Structure 1
């Protein structure tokens, strides 16, 4: 495992921390800016399945820890990696920081994974900002790799 390698994406979302935190644990909100289906709300100690129907992809997401309005620690993907979501209350809203780490890839494959994670989580945060601040689903995930 590449223990000193991690990806970090962040975004200020101009909404109260409770609303932003809820957007990441409640699939009724999250499906407006990220995955299309989930088997349930994120709860500590549980595993849910997230699905991106337009790509025919799904993954198990195990929730290791939740600290209300502060932190969500998960493990997901294939090969699995740790993904932490940190929420920090700021004067103008909520700073969301997503960190992905625990990569098993090496060399060129690791570089590709880092690039994919950086772009993917940045897209998620952009979509979340648009949805929570303006009520707009930009369909960013769906349009990132459009079907022919």
Structure 2
């Protein structure tokens, strides 16, 4: 069993605009990181993301950035399940890899694909991967709402 997933969505904006909305912490905080983002996504950087639905700030290591093309991040795997009352940022002792890819489409839109992999082959890790799949899908939907319509879909959702 290889625990990994891939989600994607089309955003009706050019690649440069979509890419900037993810690497720029001010923009990311307007639609995804409900508790804020600190630090621009640049190679070798450690940035901090905070969410109202999970306690604490999460360090995110930026492994790779190819402007308007690809971002590779690593962050600590968290195997706690919020539905069990576990909202803490307890690391499971290993990291997962998140890869974001940006493809310009012929009609002017951008296809954003987000993949995450590296969980242990356990029931807790499987449940955690489902949670992250949900989170990245929600991120893409929120990115679309923010860039195409100027709204924050996560506003007030968790706090």
TM-score range, shorter chain: 0.7 to 0.9
- Which consecutive unaligned segments of at least 5 residues does structure 1 have? none
TM-score, length-scaled by structure 1: 0.87
Show the counterpart of 1:30.
28
Tell me the secondary structure at the aligned position of residue 22 of structure 2. Answer: helix
Is 1:13 matched with 2:28? no
Tell me the secondary structure at the aligned position of residue 61 of structure 2. Answer: strand
Alignment length (residue pairs): 141
Distance 2:68 2:37 in 1: 21
Distance 1:21 1:134 in 2: 17
8 A Cα contact 1:37 1:53, kept in partner: no
Distance 1:64 1:26 in 2: 16
TM-score, length-scaled by structure 2: 0.81
Show the counterpart of 1:89.
104
Greater share of strand: 1
Matched ranges for 1:111-130 at <5 A: 111-130=126-145
**1:93-118: per-residue Cα shift (whole Å, max 9, x none)?**
000000000112x3321321221121
Is 1:71 matched with 2:85? no
8 A Cα contact 1:7 1:117, kept in partner: no
Distance 2:51 2:132 in 1: 16
Which aligned segments of 4 or more residues in structure 1 are displaced greater than 6 angstroms? none
Q: What value does the CA root-mean-square deviation take over the aligned residues?
A: 1.7
Is 1:132 matched with 2:147? yes
